[in-house]
Structure 1
Amino acid sequence: LISIESFSADFMQTFGDDRGITPNLDKLVDQSLFFDNLYANGTRTVRGLEALSLAIPPTPGDSLIKAHNNEDLFSVANVFNARGYQSDFVYGGYGYFDNMNYFFNHNGYRAVDRNDINKDDPIHHENVWGVADEDLYTLAMRQMDSIHAEGKPFFLHIMTTSNHRPFTVPAGRVKEKNGTREAAVAYTDWSIADFLKRAASKPYFDDTIFVITADHCASSAGRTSVPINRYHIPLWIYAPKHIPPQRVHRLMAQIDIMPTVLGMLNFSYRSRFFGYDLFQLEPGRERAFPATYEKLGYLRDDVLTVLEPQRKLEQLRPDYDTGDGVPVQPVDRTKVDEATAYYQVAAELYKSRQLGKRPDDNTPVKPLQAEQGSAGAAPVLH
């Protein structure tokens, strides 16, 4: 699982950009199961990490990555670990930032960061955020090689940093001017292609699923309180030996990504996730949770409901290209109640320590004959 720092869908030619800065990722669209209607939970990395590891809507105040009493929550790693996987969170900077190492080490993952890079490994570039993405992928591949050598399957969550100010990247990798957003995006594109090329030589490549998405978009500014175009992120699920290419247009929330992947792996498990396996979800129930620190969005049926402090409310029919919207009159109270319920229940479950895992939460459940049938019976995949 690669979560790319600040990668907006509209960087890509696939979504209309004409700068040609993502040629490899645009090409990968036609080789992957590609989701083109996906929306992030928030505007900061910790919200993306929360969505991808816990599959819950944003909770009030700080992300649970930084919250007190955030140990032993039910995480994606719990599901993998119960099946004998080694789960690692791999970051190219120092994971004490934003409490990442503490959170992942206490929720089923082994945190691996800048401190774990060998002193004799070449570092092609680094800045205040960490090493260049290609060096991060080298670190991740070393983890993959080591776990595979032990005879275990692996689940890695890799968090990139190169597509972040100051946008400095290794010399000679891209033609765009170093220190610009264009250079950082182009380098993101180059380094992922390079990683996949290197991984293709590994004995585990054919049975590895590569899930590539973003933590959030590059900008959150707009003329509405929650400009929906500033939450649109891409998702590739790439495993050429097992998953045929397809475009999926259904609305998808960031919290649905990993439950969908677990469904494709034919895993059956007792869950505390709020996210859905999109391929098992009946049409009409799709929704997403674009939010800011104070304003909580709920997108369903082309209506964006925004809950604000002091019980203020905004409800719009959003323009997905501009982020503008037309007020809904009269207000759809059902959607207001649904939005309130999702956010309030997530908050209350965390506050009452009910998002934690019980001893039986990790126990694999014998699947029904037709359960999670979107991918059919599959071999063990990493």
Structure 2
Amino acid sequence: MRFTCQWLRHPSSNLLTLGLLVLVLPLFSRFALGWSHPYGYLSDLAIGSLLLIALHQRVWWLGIPLLLTWCVFTLSTAELVNAVGRMPEPGDLQYLGDAQFVSHSTQGSGLSEPLLAMAMAVLLGLYLGLRSWQKKHPASPLSGAWLLVPLSLFAVHSAGQQLKPNEADQWLQFNLPHKLLAESVTGGQQQWADWLAGDEPNSPVDISALNQLDLSGTPLLQQAGSARNVLIITLEGVTGAYIQASRQAIASSYAQDPMPRLSQWAERGMLTTDYVLHGHQTIRGLYAMLCGDYNKLDSGTPKGVELLNNPARSEQCLPAQLRERGLSTHFLQGAGLRFMAKDQIMPQMGFDKTLGRDWFSNKPYIEFPWGMDDKAYFEGALRYVQQLRSKRQPWMLTLLTVGTHQPYSAPQAYLDRQPNAKLAAIAYLDDAVADFLAALEQQGVLQDTLVIITSDESHGLENVRLASAWGFNLLLAPEQAQLPALKQGVYGHVDLTASVLDYFAFPVPSTIAGRSLLRDYSSGREILSYTNGLLRQHDGQGTLSECDFQGICRRYASPGFIADSAKYLGRFSGKSARLISQRAQQLDQSLSSSQGEQHYQFANSQPIQLNATVGDDWTDNLVGAQYLTLDKNTQTTVTLKIRAVGMDSQGATLQLKTKEYDRNVDLPIPQLPLLTRDQPVEVTFSFDNPNTRKAFSFHLLGQGQGAIEIVDFSVSSAALDTEAKLLAAQETADELTPVQ
């Protein structure tokens, strides 16, 4: 016992505990998770030895934040890879502070790697306890010469990446701290190389092949389609690998058959198998689908949000185009609408009615934190279709499911039949959507309706090449006999708007990009995608380029975009790699009138019922001003006007918070006065952005008995050094009309 106490007081016990935490645990967990790869072990050893040297016997205020950050990074990587089959990017770290996301994503099944979290907590607690105990027995930190060990490991890893690049997934080759470090170093190297070469990294490049309309192909139908209505069914997170015909088309090595019933329906329609998803996140996928434009190929402010300040471009979106031609337009999703401002973005696109979880009166079969389970959702959607058919006006309806979002919604019977919750949720969705389609057929809907089934994004699959970008498009039309079973060619979400308008032989606005699925093309086309941290470009001539966060690109011989395997042709970097990145950056700016100046209106003149108490910054947020990018050296001005609707005599207490990557930001925001029936709240304030703020969110919280109406919530930014621009921005904000 005495020996044990003496050893615990000895600095070697602290060093051993720290080594177990930052060296042994990540190596063992990598092996246990099935992520074994030489580059991955090198990465873990390099970061672990660096932490060991940097933290041993250093001051506590340096060690605790670094170790906590390292633990969060390591655990979040494991969770995100298990959830959606990809490694975190900097923008994904915002969700770690999202109480709604964390609580909802871990509800029921909890963390996917609880043993890893427990081991981290135990070792971290032991380390902190030993540090506290050993304060009376100080020891010297490790010599700086030991830094040669991690630096050598980093050098070997980098040399291996350069000399022998590998197609393995990023999480197999890097841990998250190493990835972020390498990304920063590479960015600095590229800027230095640009300066030496005299290149201008932001110079315009030719993107005409990507952002122009192409209706030069031969029509599959000799005349306009006979359907009166349009139904777009969007399945949360579903990849094309789940459809049997899609797997067969590329001889996929993925052996499972998660959606057999939807696969049977795919044999009855026109299935596009080489179908590209351009990015992650639902609002980005919906924008690309419904507005005929690439969503942002990075993690910047979603174009859907930018659309709120671009009414001219909004009029070109598919719902607005169909509404102009006499169709009533409807959007119905299983989740709430306020998150990511879909309550305003979807009406801005041209939907007459935008409805979410609150619309459904039927009882869900299972409780699911994100919204309606898929069976109950499609039963409600079928009722909605029946209501539309009872009227004489043709219609467009876009549906969006939510049950296949982590933590995945499925009844116990499905969980018992499947190896994990994810496949159980997919099977539950498969039955739900197949039953829905069968009911539509029985009721005669398929005879006069163009039906398109696709997904908003792909939640990916481990060890399946390009799974994060692999989508599908299943088209069911009254003219099915005239259409091929498998549509050849490379297509993507950017093509959906042009395809629907082309089906009806409606004029397609010149601002719409893409090709029509209802035409055959004699030549290939260029297309871009940004998923799983990789920017991919197919040149339409048999070559796929894949560029990683280090600016290193690899070329593959690939007739199409989606393929089970492809011949590696070599790597490249420098100017050729930057050109691909610059093309993506120019596409990202399709809705931006000028750099630095932004004007957004997030007000929604609809009564919002308040809760008696505020429970969560996200679930109780009253406004959808989320994930904005505020440029460097700008000043942001916010104008807020709120009035009471049916408020009791006690009034309502309001609070406005701001977050960056969902962590609270200390800004000069005034305290909001008490809102009463006779006294509305009107506040204007400004704050500076000396550096770029990313994933910046406003959180308006309120508690009281009654309802409120947000009359104005405008956000305007302009360059700090131009007073006139600031005044103009404020005037513009005042003139903006709240989106109805």
Q: Identify the TM-score tier after normalising by the shorter chain.
A: 0.7 to 0.9
Q: Confirm or deny that 1:112 pairs with 2:352.
A: no
> Aligned-pair distance for 1:91?
0.5
TM-score, structure 1 normalization: 0.79
Q: Confirm or deny that 1:52 pairs with 2:289.
A: yes
Asked if structure 1 preserves the Cα contact closer than 8 Å seen for 2:452 and 2:473, the reply is yes
Match of 1:9 in 2: 240
Residues 88-107 of structure 1 correspond to what in structure 2 (within 5 A)?
Answer: 88-107=330-349
Q: 1:309 to 1:123 in 2, by over 3 A?
A: closer
Deviations 1:102-136 (A, max 9, x none): 21022201211111112xx2322231111112222
Match of 2:320 in 1: 78
- Give the letter for the 1:287 counterpart: E
Q: 1:247 to 1:135 in 2, by over 3 A?
A: same
Q: Confirm or deny that 1:302 pairs with 2:542.
A: yes
Residues 1-382 of structure 1 correspond to what in structure 2 (within 5 A)?
Answer: 1-14=232-245, 15=247, 16=252, 17-59=254-296, 60=298, 61-67=300-306, 69-70=308-309, 72=311, 73=314, 74-109=316-351, 110-118=353-361, 121-172=362-413, 176-177=417-418, 180-219=421-460, 228-239=466-477, 241-244=478-481, 245-280=484-519, 282-292=521-531, 296-300=535-539, 301-305=541-545, 312=551, 314-317=553-556, 320-321=563-564, 325-327=568-570, 340-341=582-583, 343-352=584-593
Q: Which stretch shifts more, 179-188 or 271-280? A: 271-280
- Give the letter for the 2:271 counterpart: F
CA distance in 2, matches of 1:293, 1:25: 26
Q: 1:216 to 1:76 in 2, by over 3 A?
A: same
What is the DSSP-based 3-state SS (H/G/I as helix, E as strand, rest coil) of the residue aligned with 1:78? helix
> Aligned-pair distance for 1:279?
4.2
CA distance in 2, matches of 1:298, 1:323: 14
Match of 2:195 in 1: none
Q: 1:282 to 1:20 in 2, by over 3 A?
A: closer
CA distance in 2, matches of 1:106, 1:330: 40
- Give the letter for the 1:276 counterpart: R
CA distance in 1, matches of 2:470, 2:418: 26
Paired residues in the alignment total 344
Asked if structure 1 preserves the Cα contact closer than 8 Å seen for 2:498 and 2:515, the reply is yes
Q: 1:268 to 1:163 in 2, by over 3 A?
A: same
CA distance in 1, matches of 2:418, 2:543: 40
Deviations 1:62-115 (A, max 9, x none): 322344745532311111111111111111010112222221022201211111
> Aligned-pair distance for 1:281?
6.4
CA distance in 2, matches of 1:205, 1:114: 26
More helix as a share of residues: 2
Asked if structure 1 preserves the Cα contact closer than 8 Å seen for 2:307 and 2:591, the reply is no
Asked if structure 2 preserves the Cα contact closer than 8 Å seen for 1:22 and 1:186, the reply is yes
Q: 1:317 to 1:205 in 2, by over 3 A?
A: same
Q: Which stretch shifts more, 187-196 or 163-172? A: 163-172
> Aligned-pair distance for 1:187?
1.3
Asked if structure 2 preserves the Cα contact closer than 8 Å seen for 1:168 and 1:178, the reply is no
Instruction: Tell me how large the CA RMSD over aligned residues is.
Output: 3.2
CA distance in 2, matches of 1:145, 1:164: 27
CA distance in 1, matches of 2:548, 2:301: 16
> Aligned-pair distance for 1:190?
0.7
CA distance in 1, matches of 2:492, 2:505: 20
Higher relative CO (Cα under 8 Å, sequence separation at least 6) belongs to 1
CA distance in 1, matches of 2:395, 2:508: 18
Q: 1:304 to 1:53 in 2, by over 3 A?
A: same
Q: 1:250 to 1:56 in 2, by over 3 A?
A: same
CA distance in 2, matches of 1:135, 1:299: 40
Asked if structure 1 preserves the Cα contact closer than 8 Å seen for 2:290 and 2:319, the reply is yes
What is the DSSP-based 3-state SS (H/G/I as helix, E as strand, rest coil) of the residue aligned with 1:130? coil
Q: 1:145 to 1:279 in 2, by over 3 A?
A: closer
Match of 2:77 in 1: none
CA distance in 1, matches of 2:461, 2:528: 14
CA distance in 2, matches of 1:21, 1:305: 30
CA distance in 2, matches of 1:324, 1:233: 22
Q: Which stretch shifts more, 75-84 or 50-59? A: 50-59
CA distance in 2, matches of 1:57, 1:161: 23
Match of 1:373 in 2: none
Gaps of 5+ in 1: 354-382
CA distance in 1, matches of 2:341, 2:565: 34
- Give the letter for the 1:327 counterpart: G
Deviations 1:44-63 (A, max 9, x none): 22221121111211325132
- Give the letter for the 2:238 counterpart: F
Q: Which stretch shifts more, 26-35 or 280-289? A: 280-289
What is the DSSP-based 3-state SS (H/G/I as helix, E as strand, rest coil) of the residue aligned with 2:290? helix
Deviations 1:18-45 (A, max 9, x none): 3332111221222011111111011222
- Give the letter for the 2:476 counterpart: Y
> Aligned-pair distance for 1:328?
5.2
